[in-house]
Chains A and B, each alone.
Chain A
Amino acid sequence: MAAKKLRRARLSQELCERLSRHQITTCQDFLCLSLLDLMKVTGQSYCNVQKLLCKVSLACAPKMQTAYEMTVRRAVNPSSAFLSTSLHSLDEVLHGGVPCGSLTEITSPPGCGKTQFCIMMSVLATLPISMGGLDGAVIYIDTESAFSAERLIEVAGNRFPAYFDSNEKLFSMTRNIYLYRELTCGSVLKRIKSLEEEIISKKVKLIIIDSVASVVRKEFDTKLQGNLTERSNFLARGASLLKYLAEEFSIPV
């Protein structure tokens, strides 16, 4: 949105050319300048510059929706709001399950069951909507190599014996779970960036990253001064990418 070209914001042609001479081509550059700078660069009066600002802002600003519209949308499609964890009390506390469209973080000391929970959620996501799943593919980014496919099949077979009664169903379920092993921060970030296309092409309905902390702790030693900012930059960039993916495609992460 921010990188939108000024021409698309319906500014006049000569104005765009004049601005590009000063290297202002996107909405981002335009809005970052102060009013005085804008007046100097465009050569227009105060009021006109304000009107220009409004026009450019209209091009970038997000749409408005009322909270009511949001509830209506959720009510129409209840499965699109939450992914039930199939643990009744957990669902109650979470008000329906893992929310679609936001990031959910699971933390605990080692050995408590985080990876097991992730495996369980992967199985749930591949179930059809009638059974409380999302009927879609799952992207599993594994940084600890803790994912075991056999365990996946065991969980599926034991938890939903009625559904996974044949081997084919089991295999088709496993085919829907795409596992990526990433071992460094850089590759994790690259992988997240490439996810957008895969989500659309493979109809992904759940993204799991297990786990963020292990790669970050390995690579960034907090005792060194510069590393703290780098680490937080990496985390923040990853987080905003994931948030964008979660909201854009309305899937839980």
Chain B
Amino acid sequence: EIGISKEEALEALQVVRQECRGDATRTAGAPGTSRKCTALELLEQEQAQGFIITFCSALDNILGGGVQLTKITEICGAPGVGKTQLCMQLAVDVQIPECFGGLAGEAVFIDTEGSFMVERVVDIATACVQHCQLIAEADQEEDHLKALETFSLENILSHIYYFRCRDYIELLAQVYLLPDFLSEHSKVRLVVIDGIAFPFRHDFEDLSLRTRLLNGLAQQLIIIANDHKAAVVLTNQMTTRIGQSQSTLVPALGESWGHAATVRLIFHWDNNQRLATLYKSPSQKESTIPYHVTPHGFRDVQLPAVTQKPEGTEMNPRKRPRREEEK
């Protein structure tokens, strides 16, 4: 419009932009500058990235190696199906030393439902340590034995940071404080929020506020996952959607929340067998596998004919929601 060519206009813009950028660095405010990198760099990053194994090889297979870092994974399921069990298993697994194939990281466990049982974590951790010890004895390598010295029960337990949030305000406050916490404890590789639906489901009259808060929460978690290279695992509840002729179980918190998680796993029952379905994933295809919850934690189903029924290891008392009132 002014009558100069496009290149001259571009030059003028760039000069102005540089002035602004100088100002921005002086105020030193918001973190997280815009990230640009080529897809090749991303590929290298992703290939070098680790996974958090779940000790159930079928589940690891369908997830493409395990729970991915820098991504939000959502686990939905009916009560009592094993979501908190998997979360506790992951909190222990993230601490496995690198020579055994783990990440040697720490875990943050944010509990909104109160179903975190320390005794159960002790069981899972003991089984994990035993498993690693067996591997070390079989291989007899130097670094394995050295790593085992630090991978003890007390160490595992002291690296699980537990927060108990009673309502959604505490949850919001905790998530606002998480970036600072993660900067202090830079070895944290896993953030578990057990029961993201619980504080938002009951007694919430203003649905638009709920959607806004949830979206804000999701954004923050994505930022945390990316900045600190941590995996974020959320557990969600199921709700009944009443259709024309039948009702189906769908993940709670509505459709808009479904966009928050990158990877979605749905746990459900089929007669007596627990199944996990990979419902949404950018890189893996949809599939279903059976799994077990044993006294040692989350495991594969034993294939031989002598199938042990899923043990009654439901340590966590679950309160069934309004649907099944068996009396």
The chain A residues found within 8 Å of chain B, CB to CB, are 1-2, 27-28, 31-32, 34, 45-47, 50, 53-54, 56-71, 74, 81, 93-96, 99, 101-105, 107-110, 211, 213-214, 216-217, 228, 231-233, 235-237, 239-240, 243-244, 246-247
CB < 8 Å neighbour of A2 from B169, B316, B318 = B169
Q: Are the C-beta atoms of B170 and A2 separated by less than 8 Å?
A: yes
Task: Contacts A46-B30, A57-B177, A68-B157 given; indicate if A239 touches B322 (C-beta within 8 A).
Answer: no
Give, as a whole number of angstroms, the nearest-CB distance from B187 to chain A. 13
Q: Can you report 17 residue pairs joining A to B where beta carbons are below 8 Å apart?
A: A47-B29, A54-B180, A57-B173, A62-B170, A65-B161, A66-B162, A67-B118, A67-B156, A68-B160, A95-B315, A99-B117, A99-B315, A103-B114, A107-B326, A232-B321, A235-B322, A243-B114
Task: Contacts A2-B169, A107-B326 given; indicate if A67 touches B164 (C-beta within 8 A).
Answer: no
Q: How far does the alpha carbon of A34 sit from the alpha carbon of B113 in the complex, in Å?
A: 26
Q: How far does the alpha carbon of A236 sit from the alpha carbon of B197 in the complex, in Å?
A: 12
Give, as a whole number of angstroms, the nearest-CB distance from B122 to chain A. 6
Contacts of B138-168 to chain A: CB distance below 8 A:
154, 156-168
Whether a CB of chain A sits under 8 angstroms from the CB of B115 is yes
* B160 partner residues in chain A, CB cutoff 8 A: 66-68
Q: How far does the alpha carbon of A58 sit from the alpha carbon of B180 in the complex, in Å?
A: 11
- In the complex, the chain A residue whose C-beta lies closest to that of B113 is A243
Interface string of B162-204 (1 = CB under 8 A from A): 1111111110111011001100000000000000000001110
- In the complex, the chain B residue whose C-beta lies closest to that of A31 is B172
Whether a CB of chain A sits under 8 angstroms from the CB of B258 is no
Task: Contacts A68-B154, A71-B118 given; indicate if A32 touches B170 (C-beta within 8 A).
Answer: no
Whether a CB of chain A sits under 8 angstroms from the CB of B62 is no
Q: Are the C-beta atoms of A93 and B312 separated by less than 8 Å?
A: yes
Q: Are the C-beta atoms of B166 and A62 separated by less than 8 Å?
A: yes
Whether a CB of chain A sits under 8 angstroms from the CB of B268 is no
Task: Contacts A68-B157, A81-B119, A247-B114 given; indicate if A61 touches B317 (C-beta within 8 A).
Answer: no
Q: How far does the alpha carbon of A129 sit from the alpha carbon of B163 in the complex, in Å?
A: 30
Give, as a whole number of angstroms, the nearest-CB distance from A51 to chain B. 10
Q: How far does the alpha carbon of A217 sit from the alpha carbon of B324 in the complex, in Å?
A: 12
Q: Are the C-beta atoms of B163 and A61 separated by less than 8 Å?
A: yes
Q: Are the C-beta atoms of A62 and B325 separated by less than 8 Å?
A: no
Q: Which 6 A-B pairs have the closest CB atoms?
A: A236-B202, A2-B169, A68-B157, A57-B173, A68-B158, A47-B29
Interface size class of B (residues with CB under 8 A): 35 or more
Task: Contacts A109-B327, A235-B322 given; indicate if A96 touches B114 (C-beta within 8 A).
Answer: no
Q: Are the C-beta atoms of B325 and A247 separated by less than 8 Å?
A: no
CB < 8 Å neighbour of A54 from B177, B216, B318, B325 = B177
Q: How far does the alpha carbon of A110 sit from the alpha carbon of B325 in the complex, in Å?
A: 12
Whether a CB of chain A sits under 8 angstroms from the CB of B319 is yes
CB < 8 Å neighbour of B157 from A62, A67, A102, A104 = A67
CB < 8 Å neighbour of B174 from A62, A67, A68, A70 = A62
Whether a CB of chain A sits under 8 angstroms from the CB of B27 is yes
Task: Contacts A66-B161, A213-B325 given; indicate if A103 touches B317 (C-beta within 8 A).
Answer: yes
* A216 partner residues in chain B, CB cutoff 8 A: 322, 325
Q: How far does the alpha carbon of A46 sit from the alpha carbon of B167 in the complex, in Å?
A: 27
Contacts of B197-246 to chain A: CB distance below 8 A:
201-203, 209, 212-213, 216
The chain B residues found within 8 Å of chain A, CB to CB, are 27, 29-30, 91, 109, 113-115, 117-123, 154, 156-170, 172-174, 176-177, 180-181, 201-203, 209, 212-213, 216, 312, 315-322, 325-327
* B118 partner residues in chain A, CB cutoff 8 A: 67, 70-71, 74
* A103 partner residues in chain B, CB cutoff 8 A: 114, 317, 319
Q: Are the C-beta atoms of B170 and A61 separated by less than 8 Å?
A: yes
Give, as a whole number of angstroms, the nearest-CB distance from A101 to chain B. 8
Q: How far does the alpha carbon of A67 sit from the alpha carbon of B46 in the complex, in Å?
A: 31
Q: Are the C-beta atoms of A239 and B216 separated by less than 8 Å?
A: no
Q: How far does the alpha carbon of A56 sit from the alpha carbon of B177 in the complex, in Å?
A: 10
Q: How far does the alpha carbon of A232 sit from the alpha carbon of B216 in the complex, in Å?
A: 26
* B168 partner residues in chain A, CB cutoff 8 A: 2
Q: Interface centre among A27, A94, A102, by most B CB within 10 Å?
A: A102
CB < 8 Å neighbour of A67 from B123, B162, B169 = B162
Q: Are the C-beta atoms of A64 and B202 separated by less than 8 Å?
A: no
Q: How far does the alpha carbon of A214 sit from the alpha carbon of B325 in the complex, in Å?
A: 10
* A64 partner residues in chain B, CB cutoff 8 A: 161-163, 181
Q: Are the C-beta atoms of A102 and B114 separated by less than 8 Å?
A: yes
Give, as a whole number of angstroms, the nearest-CB distance from B7 to chain A. 34
* A243 partner residues in chain B, CB cutoff 8 A: 113-114
Q: Are the C-beta atoms of B29 and A240 separated by less than 8 Å?
A: no
Q: Are the C-beta atoms of B216 and A34 separated by less than 8 Å?
A: yes
CB < 8 Å neighbour of A96 from B29, B119, B202, B209 = B119
Q: How far does the alpha carbon of A65 sit from the alpha carbon of B164 in the complex, in Å?
A: 9
